Amino acid sequence: MHIPTYLPLTFLLTPTAASVLLLLSTQPGGLGLSKSYIVNRWQCDTLVAPMDKNTSWAFVASGLANGCVLYEKANCTGKNLYIAKNNGNVLGPGPVNLTDFEFEDVASSFSCV
């Protein structure tokens, strides 16, 4: 006897949320005031004080994203900089000093992809 198995349609149509850990700090080298963000992929997150326009270092530590994009304006618009996810200090890019890319004190929002 065969008993059919049905999956709810909502389960099949609901996008899965994948957490990403993004670390930011106000000074190069991860120094100064630091903040950790656990966010979902493909959504825009706006930075607020004291990190808004006050970030000098970024590190995509873990999660299912390939990296995160920092934007100069709220709502993920304007000039941007892609920060690749760390895959280990040997395999991946690791932490990024935004001063190296002339993006220090620029970021107002970000999105992880």
Q: Give the confidence band of 64 by pLDDT, cuts at 50, 70, 90.
A: confident
Q: What is the pLDDT of residues 1-12, one digit of tens each?
A: 545 444 444 444
Distances (CA, A) of 46 to 7, 75, 80, 92, 94: 36, 7, 14, 26, 23
Give pLDDT, residue 61: 85
| Listed residue (77, 83, 75, 19) closest to 55, CA to CA | 83
Starting at the earlier edge strand, list the strands of the sheet with 67-73. 44-46, 109-112, 67-73, 77-84
Nearest CA-CA partner of 69 in 61, 105, 49, 77: 77
Looking at residue 89, its pLDDT comes to 54
d(CA 9, CA 47): 36
**pLDDT higher than 70, residue 63:** yes
Query: Hey, what are 60's tokens?
Result: 């995509």
| pLDDT for the residue numbered 56 | 97
Architecture of domain 19-112: Sandwich (2.60)
Amino acid at residue number 61? A
pLDDT-derived band at 17, boundaries 50, 70, 90: low
Please compute the mean of the pLDDT values over residues 40-62 and round it to a whole number: 94
Q: Which of 49-53, 80-84, 92-96, 98-102 has the lowest mean pLDDT?
A: 92-96
What per-residue confidence (pLDDT) applies to 52?
97
- Give the mean model confidence (pLDDT) for residues 18-40: 93
Q: Which residues pair with 24 in a beta bridge?
A: 35, 58
Distance CA 43, CA 67 (A): 13
- pLDDT bracket for residue 19 (50, 70, 90): confident
